[in-house]
Amino acid sequence: MRILLAPLAVAFSLGIILGPFVIPILRRLKFGQAIREEGPKAHFKKAGTPTMGGTIFLTTMVLTAVPLSNLFSDRISNLFFLLFATLGYAILGFLDDYIKVVMKRNLGLSAKQKLLGQLFIGLVLYWVLWEVRVERAENPGISSIHIPGTDITFQLTGLYLPLLVVMMIATSNAVNLTDGLDGLVAGTASIAYGAYAIIGMVQSNYMVVIFSASVVGALLSFLVFNAHPAKVFMGDTGSLALGGGLAALAVITKTEFLLLIIGGVFVIETLSVILQVGSFKLRGKRIFRMSPIHHHFELLGWSEWRVVTTFWSIGFLLAGLGIYLEVYLAR
């Protein structure tokens, strides 16, 4: 249990200390959030709130996971893979935030630039998976896919590369889409990472435990400053990084399909955007008042806090289902 609680406690404590130092710096640098004109009108009052706060919990996570990994685990290759995925997408998100906030280009990186960056990171991760010999790569089943709750396994061999790349791109974008309300992503992501910390314990993959628990502790401390009314936003720096880290955890633990359940809130948010765009293009009508779907409930009259806590609750239920499928049903 120490291997779970130690990184969580250390990361939380560091985040609580780091936050009050970094947030004023972001404010002095005028790294303020720009609010989309087409978004809910109630969000206009958030304009100018410091963004790029993902740097806070990412720094906290690294300062916790790296030292503790030397004490509790010897699977350094796993940590390298997880950190590369998380920080690689963090750098991409930082560039996007920097262009939007500092260079005053509201759209940030173009869709093509962002996609190329995500694709490049995915390809490098595939190389790391095979050439650097991540722990799971010692097992010929590294390119296999397991159906949760069953004993069915598919061997993908060469098809695993496109699956990995699609997973990285889809998950990072899904978490990014969800980042629209105070505390929404910080809470739902901490729940998903908490589920992977438990899965890591069950699999005796302690590097997964240390990494996941460090992220949970860092996010919970960030939530102190990010809960409504938010004093800081994580920006694409944080949301893209969290998505990349989740996808990497699914690869390391061989729970690629299970990620669809554990990260179910992010899947729902993404589907709401796809359905909204598809319906408008095909029928000229919208399904939701606004997408992603969290804005739909806002426009129905729900308070921001009610929407966030409801999505957190859904996240808890889905994470519990994912743990049940992985832990209690035969593999």
pLDDT in tens, 212-260: 999 999 999 999 999 988 899 999 999 999 999 999 999 999 899 999 9
144, β-bridge pairs: 155
Predicted confidence band of residue 128 (pLDDT cuts 50, 70, 90) = confident
pLDDT in tens, 12-60: 999 999 999 999 988 888 776 665 555 565 555 666 688 889 999 999 9
Count other C-beta atoms under 10 Å from residue 46's C-beta: 17
Torsion 237-34-42-37 (CA) sign: negative
Cβ neighbour number for residue 229 with a 10 Å cutoff: 12
Report if pTM > 0.85.
Answer: yes
* Percentage of the chain lying above the pLDDT 90 cut: 60
What pLDDT is stored for residue 120 in this prediction?
93
- Backbone CA torsion sign across 244, 202, 325, 318: negative
Contact 257, 245 (CB under 8 A): no
